[in-house]
Structure 1
Amino acid sequence: MLTVAVLISGTGSNLRALLEAARHPDFPARVIVVGADREAEGLAHAEEFGIPSFTVPWHEHESREAWGEELGRQLDVWRPDLVVLSGLMRLLPASLVARYSPRLINTHPAYLPEFPGAHGVRDALAAGVTQTGASVIVVDDGVDTGPILAQERVQIRADDTEHSLHERIKPVERRLLIDVVRGIATGDVSLDPAP
């Protein structure tokens, strides 16, 4: 059984989808802990599902490195097989990435390498393209530059706003995340980069 830690910053909609998938007996992974960089709304999902949680507030640390060290200490208590960044809106320090990668994955609301960064949906609309997408990647030292594990296109409608487009991307993102976690657990998805 693959053990998973999930890190969030916000409402945790991807977390909830993963928790719902994992409660099925045939799902080969279990969320064992949820962490956040603030008092995030999504921590309520962990409580509802009886999953332990922790918070490592960003503002209580003097640097990204110091925050990452404490985050790493918290994760090390649980020794997860996989760490999922699910809406964590902080860049992890390189030392923490090095410690967990490639067992560290992230979702992104764009068809990478198109539109990396914190505003992928807004950037796609601003570019005037007709499609964007969702991706699940291995986290590396760059910003949304790691190996792509899964992705899918989403069409952009003429009347789309940032909100409406993001709402249509989210279900795709959730499905891809669940499929990737399942695939990692069964060995159908490899975290090792291709030679």
Structure 2
Amino acid sequence: MRRLAVFASGNGTNFEAIVSACERGELAAGVVLLVCDRPGARVAERAAAHGVEAFVFSPKEYASKADYEREIVRRLDAAGVELVCLAGYMRIAGETLLGAYGGRIVNIHPSLLPAFRGAHAIEQALEYGVKVFGVTVHWVDATLDGGRIIAQRAFGYEGGDAAELEAKIHAVEYPLYIDTIRKLLEDERLAKRT
């Protein structure tokens, strides 16, 4: 059984999708740690409901990014984490985290990168009148939604509001992320990094 950590900052629907896929046996893995940078975020409740250990912290309580990332790395190491899955984690990974887990951190983003990076990708795409939307899974580096693209899935969209589009994106991103995580866990190159 491979050991995953999920980083999230909000509601945690992607966290829920990953944990549920593990519980159903769709992934030969288990989520052993949630990292959340927003006390009170719904994702912490989801972790508790599934019996997943959670490290919930407020970055303001640390002197620097390096300080809280050292604590994250300590907890990842203690849990034996092999792959880190960002799922709505709204912070750019710093040198400390990348130094310890670089090449083992993936992210899912609600656009066809490199278009529409950042926290407001859906709104930006709607503002530009995009007709083909999509989702990207990519390796994480020190840039905003940068890193080499692993998988993408596109879909057409003819209109509606941001909430309707977000629902359609979720319908695409959950299976794409699960399938991509499965393939990464089966990849011997990942095993050599751990």
| TM-score, scaled to structure 2 | 0.90
Question: Deviation digits for residues 150-181 of structure 1, max 9, x if unmatched?
Answer: 111122323x2222211210121111111111
C-alpha displacement of 1:138: 0.6
Cα distance change, pair 35–46 in 1 and its aligned pair in 2 (3 A) = same
* 8 Å CA contact 1:56, 1:70 repeated in 2: no
Runs of 5+ consecutive residues of structure 1 not aligned to the other structure? none
What residue is the counterpart of 2:34 in the other structure? 34
SS of residue paired to 2:108:
strand
Measure the CA separation in 2 of the matches of 1:42 and 1:26: 21
Identity of aligned residues (%): 33
What residue is the counterpart of 2:113 in the other structure? 112
Aligned Cα root-mean-square deviation (Å): 1.8
Question: Deviation digits for residues 7-51 of structure 1, max 9, x if unmatched?
Answer: 111110001011111012463111111111122211112111111
Letter of the structure 2 residue corresponding to residue 156 of structure 1? Y
Measure the CA separation in 2 of the matches of 1:146 and 1:50: 32
Measure the CA separation in 1 of the matches of 2:137 and 2:94: 20
Matched, 1:45 2:42: no
Which has more helix, going by share of residues? Answer: 2
What residue is the counterpart of 1:86 in the other structure? 87
Question: Deviation digits for residues 84-117 of structure 1, max 9, x if unmatched?
Answer: 1111111121221232121000010001111111
Matched, 1:14 2:9: no
* 8 Å CA contact 1:38, 1:57 repeated in 2: yes
| TM-score, scaled to structure 1 | 0.90
What residue is the counterpart of 1:157 in the other structure? 158
